[in-house]
Structure 1
Amino acid sequence: MTAIGFIGLGIMGSHMAANLIGAGHAVTGYDVVPASVDRLAQAGGKPAADIASAVAGAEVVITMLPDSPQVAEVVLGPAGVLSAIEPGVLLIDMSSIAPETSIAVAAAGAERGVHVLDAPVSGGEQGAIKASLSIMVGGDMADFETARPIFESLGRTIVHVGPHGSGQTVKAANQLMVAGIISLVSEAIVLLEASGVDSTRGLEVLAGGLAGNRILDLKAGTMLAREFTPGFRIDLHHKDMGIALASARAAGVALPVTGIVAQLVAAARAQGHGSLDHSALLKVIESLSTP
């Protein structure tokens, strides 16, 4: 059993914390939303009133937060994680943020003798519920091996991808691919429906051929039904597409399709769909052909 402090109990974090509890770890959690802390307590975790209480006595601290500003505040702020934990603790940030923020967190951790990994995840809410997430990890290999039992309670595909910040770069690549595939599935649905084809059967055929992909497997039914209950919100994917474009600029490479898809995600947000699941990109594609 490992004593874990968990900060950020939202759509993803709440299920991840519950899986850690189920695996036998002692989890103390904090979130700015009291109801989220209550859910942790119902799952068998220990609620905390603040960051310091969440990380007190922890061997491992996990953060799962929306964006770089929140990670900077929660980890680096005057009342943040690094001000409260002892040297030797392992800090795993599983948020999806800018690579440079992860590098800054690792550098600040090193100054205090804290081990740091960036370990963003892919798989959405269902992956968090089923502990089937893909976890892409940046940082020292020795710290990765220490964290492996924690990761194995949360996911199935667990890969060390390089030094600090590398996990975030791989996550950016993941997000540009996911948004691009959702956009193409949306276009396929619009074409099938406009042509009078049985869309359900059409997508079934596509899923069994070279066009098959996880988006079709997981979201085809809800997209056809126009059900966009958020598993991963447009607002967050908009943030991630910005990270992908900024990473491309920093690397000096051109990602033209990513640029177009990022504009579709931005359009979805501008049309008021930010709180919907990212599969609501279908609404944007539909609007392009609606008189």
Structure 2
Amino acid sequence: MSDPHLGFIGLGQIGAPMAKRWCDHPGGLTVFDVVEAATAPFAERGAHVAASPAGVAERATVISLMVRDDAQVREVMSGPDGILATASNGTVVIIHSTVEADTPAEIAALCKPHGVAVLDAPVSGGAMGAHEGTLALMVGGDAEAVALATPALERLGTLVAHLGPIGAGTRAKLARNLITFASFAAVGEASRLAEAAGVDLAKLGEVVRHSDRVTGGPGAIMLRGTAGPLPADDGLRPIFEHTRGLGEKDLTLAIGLGAELGVETPVARQAFDQLGAALGVPHRHSLDTDNPDEGDDR
């Protein structure tokens, strides 16, 4: 099992570049996609093309799925031509699709009588990370199955994080995507504010990308093992209290600018309300756009 035969099902925008990183795997690769044209580049590179998920499981003992949604995951696993129709005892199936939080555990329970282990390993890094092999993989599942799958997963990304039992990877991905899309909403609001103020948005985008590379962006404050308030003697507390003060001051100024320019800033107002708790240093505070340097415990 040092070089298990690998399988990949779902050769879309993310799945195809991921699977291509397995084409030179010593144990071989079998692929399947409902779109026949998607498999042609793999056949040209020496991979076996199966006619169904069951055909993949006839050959492969470590199988990745990157399909669209929960329904497709279930069909690929337990449909008439699904993996469980042919999978051998000891097979490991890795679900990369972003699905509902409880789906991986439900699939694992379905597979257990067949001797098939399931991991959930959604990815972060997008198409660029898939092409470059720099994805982050958030893995949930049994340690033995994770150990078996890790050499293959390490070909796909530069960070393979085992986060806990089955389902932990999916829960982590949902939390990670909350950061992404909430940030996008903030970008929309900030762009409207900057545009109304006459700022060049393309150049502002360059500044944001540059500074995020330096500071680490939102992940820079994710240094703690709990989301609760920081103890009084925690070394991070004075740093985060300082960050809270700066943030509340600058958010107040942005909200004030929005009021001056007639730009609504609901994201900024919610950020002002929640910033202290997010940093683990909640406190009594008030929003005063007329006197931005004044307030409770700034």
Same fold flag (TM > 0.5): yes
Shift of 1:208: 4.3
Find the residue that maps to 1:116 and give its secondary structure: strand
1 or 2 for the larger relative contact order (CA 8 Å, sep ≥6)? 1
Shift of 1:200: 2.9
- CA offsets 1:200-231 (integer angstroms, 9 cap, x no match): 3323333444796679xxxxxxxxxxxxxxxx
Alignment partner, residue 205 of structure 2: 203
The one-letter code matched in structure 2 to 1:34 is E
So what's the TM-score if we normalise by structure 1?
Answer: 0.69
In the alignment, is residue 60 of structure 1 matched against residue 62 of structure 2? yes
Q: Is the 8 A contact 1:23 1:153 kept in 2?
A: no
The one-letter code matched in structure 2 to 1:106 is A
Report the CA distance shift for 1:207/1:15 in structure 2 as closer, same or farther (over 3 A). Answer: closer
Shift of 1:16: 0.7
My pick for the range that moved more, 94-103 or 203-212, is 203-212
**Gap runs ≥5 in structure 1:** 216-256, 261-291
My pick for the range that moved more, 177-186 or 159-168, is 177-186
Q: After superposition, where does 1:123-162 map in structure 2 within 5 Å?
A: 123-162=125-164
Q: Is the 8 A contact 1:4 1:55 kept in 2?
A: no
Return the alpha-carbon distance in structure 1 between the equivalents of residues 207 and 125 of structure 2: 24
Q: After superposition, where does 1:88-99 map in structure 2 within 5 Å?
A: 88-99=90-101
Find the residue that maps to 1:21 and give its secondary structure: coil
In the alignment, is residue 180 of structure 1 matched against residue 182 of structure 2? yes
Aligned mate of 1:32, from 31, 34, 48 = 34
**Gap runs ≥5 in structure 2:** 219-266, 271-298
Report the CA distance shift for 1:2/1:179 in structure 2 as closer, same or farther (over 3 A). Answer: same
Q: Is the 8 A contact 2:121 2:138 kept in 1?
A: yes
Alignment partner, residue 72 of structure 1: 74
Return the alpha-carbon distance in structure 2 between the equivalents of residues 198 and 61 of structure 1: 47
Q: After superposition, where does 1:74-113 map in structure 2 within 5 Å?
A: 74-113=76-115
Return the alpha-carbon distance in structure 2 between the equivalents of residues 214 and 151 of structure 1: 26
Alignment partner, residue 14 of structure 1: 16
Shift of 1:194: 2.7
Rg larger for = 2
Report how many residues are paired. 217
Q: Is the 8 A contact 1:37 1:48 kept in 2?
A: no
So what's the TM-score if we normalise by structure 2?
Answer: 0.67
Find the residue that maps to 1:204 and give its secondary structure: helix
